[in-house]
Amino acid sequence: MAGKEAKGADGGAKGGSNKGKKKEVKKETGLGLTNKKDENFGEWYSEEFFDAEIKKMKIKNCYFPLFVSPGVLEKEKDHVEGFAPEVAWVTKSGKSDLEVPIAIRPTSETAMYPYYSKWIRGHRDLPLRLNQWCNVVRWEFSNPTPFIRSREFLWQEGHTAFATKEEADAEVLDILELYRRIYEEFLAVPVIKGKKSELEKFAGGLYTTTVEAFIPNTGRGIQGATSHCLGQNFAKMFEINFENEKGEKAMVWQNSWAYTTRTIGVMIMVHGDDKGLVLPPKVAATQVIVIPVPYKDADTQGILDACAATVKTLSESGIRAEADFRDNYSPGWKYSHWEMKGIPLRIEIGPKDLANKQVRVVRRDNSAKSDIPMDSLVEKVREVLDEIQQSLFSVAKQKKETCIKVVKTWEEFLEALSQKKLILAPWCDEEEVEKSVKERTKGEMGAVKTLCSPFDQPELPEGTLCFASGKPAKKWSYWGRSY
Amino acid sequence: MAGKEAKGADGGAKGGSNKGKKKEVKKETGLGLTNKKDENFGEWYSEEFFDAEIKKMKIKNCYFPLFVSPGVLEKEKDHVEGFAPEVAWVTKSGKSDLEVPIAIRPTSETAMYPYYSKWIRGHRDLPLRLNQWCNVVRWEFSNPTPFIRSREFLWQEGHTAFATKEEADAEVLDILELYRRIYEEFLAVPVIKGKKSELEKFAGGLYTTTVEAFIPNTGRGIQGATSHCLGQNFAKMFEINFENEKGEKAMVWQNSWAYTTRTIGVMIMVHGDDKGLVLPPKVAATQVIVIPVPYKDADTQGILDACAATVKTLSESGIRAEADFRDNYSPGWKYSHWEMKGIPLRIEIGPKDLANKQVRVVRRDNSAKSDIPMDSLVEKVREVLDEIQQSLFSVAKQKKETCIKVVKTWEEFLEALSQKKLILAPWCDEEEVEKSVKERTKGEMGAVKTLCSPFDQPELPEGTLCFASGKPAKKWSYWGRSY
């Protein structure tokens, strides 16, 4: 596994050993989330969707402790190698030293699986499917970036055990599809579904599937969320056995999968512009901001009343609307303020609007203005919000697709890289070749690695060669620098 | 403030200095929650109720970091004195020491209020009402007790700021009423609303209101949840000022309020019996467990099908039902198993039931059995679940009221104490007298303190004297040992 890049607050790829990587960076003390999450993100809307969906799948919520004892943390060797350098340790309470330091969970495999071993006896105890919504801590060496790479982050982590590999395989993809829907349907961010390389898979697991996003401005990929099949490796270490239908002793097949508050960071990077945030309506805590535009000698009270009535009407229809009645700021100041906060739609009500029984609506995403008659307010606002949601997704998809560059040679690869492209290349699928690509591209910008091998594979004509090694290519794979 | 008893995972009373209390207890390293929460508690049902209610009050959810820097933690003197002895410190990441150790939040006043100071400028920015659902850590010296006093616990903490004391006062009571409803309507636990004494109030606050529960078996009170008016003390320390309507500089009035997973512990202690848990239907993850009772030569498949159909019918009506189809356990074993887990209602289906088109239902709370025709299944099950919910509450209320003992003298007080009563006594309301009562009753069982002065005050005839000091009594107050 591949070291720091694959870990961090990484939407689920929870590990990787640090083999061969030594980076001397001065330790600094920083807070987990140095910037507080804006209250607009206090409601993590995709959580509601995801939680309802996994309940339909009979996955139950649970909660395990924040603290993990060194004994269990160190039980799975590859796994602990992947996490050890970034585990935060509590060594003191008050002014006293603890007899034995205790770790803060970087992920919960080792905290949960000793219980799985106790709870699972017979095949009737399977599948065991649990999920928890919690915080985890990974003490990054590099500077934390809010939402993208923070020392504390919030996530859900699912941990499931099955009698057969087939069931585990199927769940991996079911969950991955939910992650795709979170990105595409809620956050309006296009993603690519695929499989991680051996070098990039989860430490200690069998294989890792991923939804990968891409940030055109910086030309970097970003792992959106991952769904891992752990195989029977943890089952072996934690002795998670059961008696199967034939009365024989068998080992369970396990999955783990996670998505994090990193989703918020990806959304911000994909849609944000020079004026600030741009939030997709489905996940915006406030979808509509109503701003009174009083004029001298105009009926100010009438305007304020119309604003309040507008918020009331929208709220009663389930649209998340608020008014900004502050009298110490000008309408223009408020426009900028709410644009910066990314509110999808602004409604302005001035004397002319009042006279014409209409409101002025202004879209955050493209600044388009239109007038809506007050008597079709809800219907029209809903229409515009839907348009914004769709439009954000199709614009982002268009941008991403423009960035995809198919390359076949090392020279084309380097050129595409310098152009910040999302590179799709035929590959021999050999671990040593990926290592060599990383080695040859490392530098200030960071090394290039595989992002994923897409499930949706273009045709690979016989005789196609690997762009990096010149050996026969086995698959198409996306390559790039990443967050 | 009163030392350890008032703190811990204590439903909201988040502090108290440790003045005059030195207890030498050997430090031990234990996990935050040494026992995992049973998956039945993974859904903390009262959370859904409370979250919806505070949203109606326009309180917004947010999230602040787990880690707090020493600088802000130590800003409010009384407050830090209350918490310092039990703060857990992270001092290492991987194998390296941090330059500056960092604290894990025991509560978030000091993490949040520096931001309140930045965000609040004018009266239009008020009220500011935020809430977060999160984990906190308080490193207890004594042995942790699952749910009641654990080193990590989950809670919501609300932090609000108002322009006037009147608004703050009103919110304190609105929130307290929600806490009462959580206990009485969801957990079927009767509580007493009241005010904490000066000695028992929140460290650094103005006054503390509480809902107090009582455990008849042990004769101990338990603080259920607290809603504090902080006054302007934190506003002063964190410089949370605003320009009021007259253009003058003013300080905000603040509240904080919290309820924790301790609610689960209180519910367990109040309703549990010798067979195990007894869960009120409203908060039981599984409300109905369906158990097939096959006999030799009977139509086993028919019974299994009827069980599956029963679960399906109930589930489709929104009743949380499951079947136990495990074939390696007997029906009798399963009865005990699900009784231990506290499932409110058991449905048994055997050959006779199948023949009579009925199911046998057995209540967990009082073992009452009855037969329900399959064609009125949903309606009847719903009726029985409602009866169980009501009955649990009225039985608990009855028990609690039987335990209340009105005392007027020190002798009566000691006698009631030895009888594990919930003591209601006239009190002079003097801090020194409460300290003296604690001093005179301390011992292996723990000192007696005021639980609360109930809002619902019995008549206090003129000339009534304090049970402890003999001075004129000013109010009635509940007294007892507590968790």
CB contact (8 A) between residue B62 and residue A104:
no
> What is the rounded distance in angstroms from the CA atom of residue A60 to the CA atom of residue A130?
5
* pLDDT at residue A325, as a whole number: 93
Residues of A in contact with B84 (CB under 8 A): 94
Mean pLDDT for all residues in chain A: 90
Q: Tell me which residue in A27, A32, A37 faces B66 most closely, judged by beta carbons.
A: A32
Residues of A in contact with B286 (CB under 8 A): none
Q: What percent of chain B shows pLDDT beyond 70?
A: 91
* Interface size between A and B, measured as CB pairs under 8 A: 165
Q: Evaluate whether A364 touches A344 at the Cβ level (below 8 Å).
A: yes
C-alpha dihedral over B118, B122, B127, B130, to 10 degrees? -20
- For residue A105, which of A131, A77, A80, A129 has the smallest C-alpha distance? A80
Q: Tell me which residue in B29, B39, B67 faces A62 most closely, judged by beta carbons.
A: B39
Instruction: Please report the DSSP string for A420-470 in residue order.
Output: T-EEEEEE---HHHHHHHHHHH-STT---EEEEEESSPPP--TT-B-TTT-
C-alpha dihedral over A483, A177, A174, B323, to 10 degrees? 110
> What is the rounded distance in angstroms from the CA atom of residue B29 to the CA atom of residue A69?
9
Which residues of chain B fall below pLDDT 70? 1-42, 141
Q: Evaluate whether A259 touches A183 at the Cβ level (below 8 Å).
A: no
* pLDDT at residue A42, as a whole number: 58
CB contact (8 A) between residue B122 and residue A64:
no
pTM (2 d.p.)? 0.88
Residues of B in contact with A328 (CB under 8 A): 122, 124, 243
Q: Residue A168: is its pLDDT beyond 60? A: yes
What is the tens place of the pLDDT at every residue in A313-327? Answer: 999 999 999 999 988
> What is the rounded distance in angstroms from the CA atom of residue B305 to the CA atom of residue B286?
20
Three-point CA angle B121, B127, B133, nearest 5°: 110
Residues of B in contact with A90 (CB under 8 A): 88-91, 104
How many C-beta atoms lie closer than 10 Å to residue B81's C-beta?
A: 18
Residue of B nearest to A113 (CA): B36
How many C-beta atoms lie closer than 10 Å to residue A406's C-beta?
A: 14
CB contact (8 A) between residue B90 and residue A88:
yes
Give chain A's length: 483
> What is the rounded distance in angstroms from the CA atom of residue B344 to the CA atom of residue B390?
12
Judge residue A244's burial from the number of C-beta atoms within 10 Å of its C-beta, 0-12 exposed, 13-18 middle, 19 or more buried.
middle
Spatial neighbors of A154 by CB under 8 A, at least 6 apart, are A44, A133, A134, A135, A260, A261, B63
- A117 token code pair: 């071993």
CA distance B281 to chain A (A): 18
ipTM of the modeled complex: 0.86
Judge residue A444's burial from the number of C-beta atoms within 10 Å of its C-beta, 0-12 exposed, 13-18 middle, 19 or more buried.
exposed
Half-sphere exposure of B428 (CA within 13 A, CB side): 17
* pLDDT at residue A305, as a whole number: 97
CB contact (8 A) between residue B66 and residue A152:
yes
Q: Residue A24: is its pLDDT beyond 60? A: no
> Which residue is it, tokens 């008696």?
A243
Q: How confident is the model at residue A41 (pLDDT cuts 50, 70, 90)?
A: low
Determine how β-strand B358-363 pairs with β-strand B345-349.
antiparallel
Average pLDDT of span A232-255: 95
* pLDDT at residue A85, as a whole number: 87
Helices marked H in A159-277: 165-181, 233-237, 262-271
CB contact (8 A) between residue A31 and residue B67:
yes
Q: Evaluate whether A482 touches A449 at the Cβ level (below 8 Å).
A: yes
Helices marked H in B120-255: 165-181, 233-237
- A125 token code pair: 């105890």
- B205 token code pair: 């606050």
User: Percent helix, strand and coil across chain A, each rounded to 5?
Assistant: 35, 30, 40
Residues of B in contact with A100 (CB under 8 A): 29
> What is the rounded distance in angstroms from the CA atom of residue B209 to the CA atom of residue B217?
25
**C-alpha separations of B245 from A201, A207, B125, B231, B248 in Å:** 59, 62, 12, 20, 7
CA distance A99 to chain B (A): 6
Q: Residue A414: is its pLDDT beyond 70? A: yes
Inter-axis angle of helices A45-56 and A165-181, to 10 degrees? 150
* pLDDT at residue A30, as a whole number: 36
Q: Residue A20: is its pLDDT beyond 60? A: no
* pLDDT at residue B430, as a whole number: 97
**C-alpha separations of B218 from B127, B226, B269, B421 in Å:** 43, 22, 10, 9
Cβ-count burial A44-71 (b if 16+ within 10 Å, e if not)? bbbbebbeebbeeeebbbbbbbbbbbee
Q: Evaluate whether B454 touches B197 at the Cβ level (below 8 Å).
A: no
Q: What DSSP designation does A107 have?
A: S
> What is the rounded distance in angstroms from the CA atom of residue B318 to the CA atom of residue B323?
15
CB contact (8 A) between residue A89 and residue B87:
no
* pLDDT at residue B140, as a whole number: 79
* DSSP E strand stretches across B274-427: 288-292, 321-323, 345-349, 358-363, 369-373, 404-406, 422-427
* pLDDT at residue A260, as a whole number: 96
Q: Which helix (H) or strand (E) holds B418?
A: helix B410-418
- For residue B209, which of B257, B148, B281 has the smallest C-alpha distance? B257
